[in-house]
Chains A and B, each alone.
Chain A
């Protein structure tokens, strides 16, 4: 029941903000307190998990449809993402400090989004997983639709319909799975399904997860949703929501249908490799800096597919590293772009130039983000992408070079953005821009720290995830236990 508090606390916090926000205390303070408490709670849950004797899949028993379905579990695969969510939410709350239009609803939605995402990562039951997966849509839909920019209505509808289409197919897959295994609970017991059925289930599940990730032909909702969403929405969307796709593939689709996953691995690799190149090229072509960051997410998430399609423990670890790193980097990037937009009211790279002079602190942070994003060693982007290239080279040989092109292109678009915005002659128009405030520096600090720590010590994540990853890989490679 300990884990349930991780979901209950933000829900209760959301209700409290909705009912008492601005009366007892400002909504933003309330929700920051709740989000920080949640972070502490998540930290203690992870510590308890590590202290427990078996940190591998330690799911609760039971959970056949009809009996009590609420079984939760925290293990090495979910712990990094739970930690990421718990870290990003206070940052996102702090990033939306200036929201003046309906702050109660805004902060309540942020907290309920956190609850839903937590539920996704903690669910140890297929039905509960699906419920949480869908529940994430609702707060995000309203965040985009109510606080977004000009094209928000269209972006919100498109976001909802795309992801709902994927998850409706996923529901059929989940139900097929439940119907044939007779159990809804996830565990490390291998379940052998006929190959035909495995294929159907895998691709139905993957439909939902690839849309969420997003893999390239299914990504078109993403740029719009990211660009139109308010800053906190973009941060959480890129930071944690996309991770649900990779997590779902690693946790559910691959172990439950290992044969089909083995067959599909080359296709997934191809989707991922194309994504890394396509995302980077598309980012290079953008003039809107927020859109550029959005496309860079497509490129980065391509590496997740490249890594996990290797079907090895190191591949899984690489996918996890890429996801956590991208969560930090993308959140920081969207935060900085949002902060810039608040000051300049433009996101166009053509209007921005020479910002290093008027706003040096912002520029330093932005350059730092770009370097992390392009995969500079000693920052968080490097270990994950390097390891995923290495693993895919082992599995797919020289085809991995395609993803390598993606790495090179990542340097191009990131440096392009830096050159356009930060360098160049100072422009009269931006001469008197206020630099990032102390609050904004404090907001960015955890992300910066995380990026550095992860870059220097990637073993932190891999050690955390290793027991669960080896248990899952045993299922994926069909060895059983």
Chain B
């Protein structure tokens, strides 16, 4: 007992030195997953990744509370809000593993778990990068792992979507590398953010603007903001919901944090880049408008969440443009809520065998009350309703925007939230208010054989729903607790 306590104490007090530990742990789990997969033990591979991600998330939580922001390994920072972001990303990986990824073909399950683990590490590196080369390496690793995950379900459409995603991503990567080349040339070989910003700021304004824009474009692509958003809905719809639990949120946290570290902590300080800031603000507004309006008409849950993700990227960029301290909290709360939504989708897909459409949710409230309550909480959090953590994030971002003189952006964001209830509310309505028998009759008409098959082949084990119910409870608790204990702690946890 005392040994364990001593160990915990050492761990916490020596936090500074071991900020690399979570990443190493998860990377090891990724390797283990591939080995286990080779022995045809995909379930064990998924479990290994889940376990490692859980431990990594716990270490990150401790680090976020204990360790200040500092260098973890050369070129990558950790601790503080970056550890908070890391905790969120590893928790998402753990949640993805908790679905068991059983809707994937058995042949790729282990590999997919490995890719999730690898992506999680890449996400942490991307978020904490303070060197342009490290950032690009992390971004590319993440991108390649994402292409693999999108195509993992092995259907024809998934291959096509992954290919399109890959081609568009390559263009973004090209822009980034081109930008890097220019920046390095201007900066005389320096690649760390600080040195780059200094040297680029003193170069001709046009060059600085163009090079900065190339960076913004590449990161906006990863975050899925307008005008680099066209891959998002396809990818969200195609990727298996169990994998989407991770893929929808974690790369977004990473990309937004990377944008934050690069721009807010270094670039915004310099007057030269005022145009760049305007560009980010406009991209934010456009994302909010386009994402919210396009999501209104979607019939499939995945695609709806895809368009909504574009809008959410807009809110995150609002925070970046304003330098709002709540940006980290906003993306983390988005990611967790999206994970709950995809988790519910994954449970439903495992039960019914098809990607849920919104009308298929009819009667969910009476069949699975806990699951539908989780879904409703996720939708309310995504809308930004008070009593959920989504509100706390938006509150701080809008507050920051108003403080930075971007009131118009806050108004667009607030109105966008109203529009967003048009579709998030549709999901709640379908789950709670719709008459279930109509929907059942509908599916029976469309696919009678599927309806016949179902009772004959009951799942070996019921899909695990409790992690997502717990995560939904966390959304609500994190939204209520600040009212009692103050907003400071929760914002600080994710503040970089």
What are the residues of chain A within 8 A of B482 when measuring CB–CB?
69
Tell me whether A157 and B386 are in contact (CB under 8 A).
no
Task: State how many angstroms separate the Cβ of A175 from the closest Cβ of chain B.
Answer: 5
Q: Within 8 Å of chain B (Cβ to Cβ): is A142?
A: yes
Residues of B near A178 (CB, < 8 A) are 399
Q: Are B432 and A145 neighbours in the complex by a CB distance under 8 Å?
A: yes
A175, B433: Cβ atoms closer than 8 Å: no
Task: Tell me, in angstroms, the Cα distance from A137 to B271 when the chains sit together.
Answer: 44
Judged by a CB distance under 8 angstroms, whether B391 is at the interface is: yes
Contact B386 A160, beta carbon cutoff 8 Å: no
Known: A156-B429, A157-B425. A168 touches B483 (CB 8 A): no
Find the B residue at minimum CB distance from A68. B486
Chain B min CB distance to A65 (Å): 6
Tell whether A172 pairs with B418 under 8 Å between CB atoms, given A70-B483, A179-B402. no
Q: A146-B432, A169-B414, A172-B411 are in contact. Are A65 and B487 (CB under 8 A)?
A: yes
Contact (Cβ within 8 A) A68 B402: no
Query: Which residues of A are found within 8 Å of B421, using beta-carbon distances?
Result: 160-161, 164
- Is B380 interfacial (CB 8 A cutoff)? yes
Q: Give the CA-CA distance A134 to B417 in the complex, in Å.
A: 13
Q: Are A138 and B432 in contact (CB-based, < 8 A)? A: no
The distance from the CB of B292 to the nearest CB of chain A, in whole angstroms, is 12
A146 to B434, CA, bound (A): 9
Residues of B within 8 A of A164 (CB): 417-418, 421
On whether the beta carbons of B407 and A172 are closer than 8 Å, the reply is yes
A152 surroundings in chain B (CB, below 8 A) = 433
Q: B488: CB under 8 A from chain A?
A: yes
Decide yes or no whether B403 CB sits under 8 A from chain A: yes
B35 on the interface (CB 8 Å rule)?
A: no
B395 near A: Cβ within 8 Å?
A: yes
Q: Is the CB of A168 within 8 A of B386?
A: no
Report B-chain residues with C-beta under 8 Å of the C-beta of A132: 386
Number of chain B interface residues as a range: 20 to 34
Q: Are B433 and A127 in contact (CB under 8 A)?
A: no
Question: Closest residue to A157 on the B side, CB-wise?
Answer: B425
A130 within 8 A of B: yes
B403: A residues at CB distance < 8 A = 179
- B398 / chain A contacts, CB cutoff of 8 Å: 171-172, 175
In the complex the two chains form, is B429's CB within 8 Å of A175's CB? no
Bound complex: CA of A329 vs CA of B29, how far in Å? 67
Residue pair A138, B385 in contact (C-beta under 8 Å):
yes
Judge whether B415 is part of the interface by a CB distance below 8 angstroms. yes
A168 touches B414 (CB 8 A): yes
- Residues of A near B415 (CB, < 8 A) are 165, 168-169
Judged by a CB distance under 8 angstroms, whether A362 is at the interface is no
What is the bound-complex CA distance between A137 and B418, given in angstroms?
13
A146-B433, A156-B433, A171-B414 known; A69+B391 contact, CB < 8 A: no
Chain A, interface size category, equals 20 to 34
With an 8 A cutoff between CB atoms, is B422 at the interface? Answer: yes
Interface residues of A in 62-95 (CB under 8 A from B): 65-70
Q: Which of A67, A145, A169, A179 contacts B433 (CB 8 A)?
A: A145
B255 to chain A, nearest CB (A): 26
> With A and B bound together, what is the CA distance between A156 and B434 in angstroms?
12
- Judged by a CB distance under 8 angstroms, whether B387 is at the interface is yes
CB distance from A104 to the nearest CB of B (A): 11
Q: Which residues of B contact A137 (CB under 8 A)?
A: 385
Question: Is B418 within 8 A of A138, CB to CB?
Answer: no
Interface contact A138-B387, CB-CB below 8 Å = yes
Q: B484 within 8 Å of A by Cβ?
A: yes
Contacts of B425 in A (CB 8 A): 157, 160-161
Contact B429 A66 (CB under 8 A): no
Partner of A134, one of B386, B411, B486, B491: B386
Q: For window 171-200 of chain A, which residues contact chain B by CB distance below 8 Å?
A: 171-172, 175-176, 178-179
Asked if A128 is at the interface (CB within 8 A of a chain B CB), the reply is yes
Q: Does B364 contact A (CB under 8 A)?
A: no
Q: Is B410 an interface residue (CB 8 A)?
A: yes
Q: Measured between alpha carbons, how far is A127 from B395 in the docked complex, in Å?
A: 9
Cα distance, A242 to B398, chains bound together (Å): 27
B485 surroundings in chain A (CB, below 8 A): 68
Which residue of A127, A157, A171 is within 8 Å of B429 (Cβ)? A157
A70 to B421, CA, bound (A): 27
Chain B 397-410: CB-based contact to A (< 8 A → 1; otherwise 0): 01100110001001
- CB neighbours (8 Å) of B385 from chain A are 134-135, 137-138
Q: Are B486 and A176 in contact (CB under 8 A)?
A: no
Across the interface, which residues of A come within 8 angstroms of B433, CB to CB? 145-146, 152-153, 156
B241 shortest CB reach to chain A, Å? 26
Nearest residue (CB) in B for A165 is B418
Cβ A131 vs Cβ B399 within 8 A: no
A168 to B386, CA, bound (A): 11
In the complex, what's the smallest C-beta–C-beta distance from A208 to chain B, in angstroms? 11
The answer to whether B387 touches A135 (Cβ under 8 A) is yes
Judge whether A168 and B417 touch: CB under 8 Å: yes
Contacts of B432 in A (CB 8 A): 142, 145-146
- Nearest CB on A from B409, distance (A): 10
Beta-carbon nearest neighbor of A131 in chain B: B386
Q: Which of B386, B410, B418 counts the most A-chain CB atoms under 10 A from its CB?
A: B386
In the complex, chain B residues whose CB is within 8 Å of the CB of A172: 398, 402, 407, 410-411, 414
The residues of A that contact B402 with a CB separation of less than 8 Å are 172, 175-176, 179
User: Which B residues are CB-close (under 8 A) to A127?
Assistant: 395, 487
Q: Which residues of A contact B (CB under 8 A)?
A: 65-70, 127-128, 130-132, 134-135, 137-138, 142, 145-146, 152-153, 156-157, 160-161, 164-165, 168-169, 171-172, 175-176, 178-179
Instruction: Sample 6 A-B pairs with CB under 8 A, ordered by A number.
Output: A68-B485, A127-B395, A164-B417, A168-B415, A172-B398, A175-B398
Known A-B contacts: A66-B488, A70-B484, A175-B398. Give 7 more (CB < 8 A): A70-B483, A135-B385, A161-B421, A164-B417, A169-B411, A176-B402, A178-B399
Chain A to chain B: the 5 pairs with minimum beta-carbon distance, closest first: A131-B386, A168-B414, A134-B386, A145-B433, A66-B488
